[in-house]
Amino acid sequence: MDPVLLVHGGAWAIPDDMVDAHLNGVRHAIAAGWQVLNRGGSSLDAVEEAVVIMEDDQTFDAGRGSFLNRDGKVQLDALIMEGATLRAGGVGCVEHLRNPIRAARKILSESPHVYFVAEGAERFAAEHGIALCKNEDLIIPREVERLREFQAHAAEEKPDLFAATLSHDTVGAVALDAKGDIAAATSTGGTLNKAPGRLGDSSLIGCGCYADNKTAAASTTGWGEPIMKLVLAKWAADRVASGSLPEWVAAEAINYLQARVNGHGGMILLDARGRFGIAHNTPRMAWALKTMSEERSGISRQE
């Protein structure tokens, strides 16, 4: 098979002055993931490396620079899944990991379990050679000020916590390798001013991330609660299995998200034949694609 790599860096109303940062971020992620695929590496390794790049990039709501919760802390969630075996690893509400996708990968590879949360996830990570950090190391001044402004306005009025004008910079990747195996990964810091302990869709298997060689690999971004209610990544993968093209299914999934539960967000979708789809119903979505014959990236607009 000819490898394919597709990444996203969030679906929301990305401001004009942040477009270049988003484009650079998804391009760097594509470069890191493609390096793995180009040397014959696995789709699982490729999506992990692509997501790590975006976790390390303060542009996105993942890793360092993520949104702060109501208590002013960073709490991170991530999931990675292998389409050939259906193995998956996820972490939720971790506060002391720079790259939660690394911990998720360790769970997939070295644990009989699928999911760890909070202190248990951090303990597992440390026991498997992943260094912990201080929560303060994940916090940047931009997000301290963003939370301060949000909470100040919230005292006067009730803002929409999930509005598309707020950043939904969850990151994700899907890949197909030369062996014909697909994989998916998603990582996020969640929503601004979220209640401590809140989990969104990103790290939940079948909701914000899914991969099965018999169907498709998917990663979503956007307002998590509606995506969870529809188990949207699995919903989309199942429709690919019925014979529909990923391009059509991704669009159908986002239309379904809006029509059924008034949700908004975006999705990348890839099947084991290398066919892919990108869709969103937010004003903009950051994405990048690379195959053997082409490389593209963009901040697509919702018409």
Secondary structure of residue 232 in the 3-state scheme: helix
Across 147-161, 208-222, 244-258, least confident range: 147-161
pLDDT (average), residues 122-136 = 98
- Under the banding of pLDDT at 50, 70 and 90, the label for residue 153 is confident
pLDDT (average), residues 221-246 = 94
pLDDT (average), residues 281-298 = 95
- pLDDT for 300: 75
- pLDDT at residue 164 tops 70: no
- Tokens representing 78 are 């991530």
Across 58-62, 241-245, 249-253, least confident range: 241-245
- pLDDT for 85: 98
- Under the banding of pLDDT at 50, 70 and 90, the label for residue 160 is low
CATH architecture of 4-301: 4-Layer Sandwich (3.60)
Percent of the chain with pLDDT over 70: 95
Report how far residue 234's alpha carbon sits from residue 143's, in angstroms, rounded to the nearest whole number: 32
Q: What is the pLDDT of residues 13-23, one digit of tens each?
A: 898 999 999 99
pLDDT (average), residues 120-124 = 98
Q: What is the pLDDT of residues 67-114, one digit of tens each?
A: 999 999 999 999 999 999 999 999 999 999 999 999 999 999 999 999
Distance of CA 170 to the CA centre of its chain: 5
Question: What residue ranges do the domains of the chain occupy?
Answer: 4-301
- pLDDT at residue 169 tops 70: yes
Which residues are the active-site residues? 170
Residue 193 makes CB contacts below 8 A (sequence gap 6+) with 67, 68, 69, 70, 147, 150, 151, 154, 161
Q: Among residues 96, 103, 104, 101, which one has the least CA distance to residue 132?
A: 96
Cβ density class 171-197: b for 16+ within 10 Å, e for less: bbbbbbbbeebbbbbbbbbbbbbbeee
Q: What is the pLDDT of residues 183-226, one digit of tens each?
A: 999 999 999 999 999 999 999 999 999 999 999 999 999 999 99
Q: What is the mean pLDDT of the chain?
A: 94
Amino acid at 244: S
Q: At residue 291, what are phi and psi to the nearest 5 degrees?
A: -130, -175
- Under the banding of pLDDT at 50, 70 and 90, the label for residue 167 is low
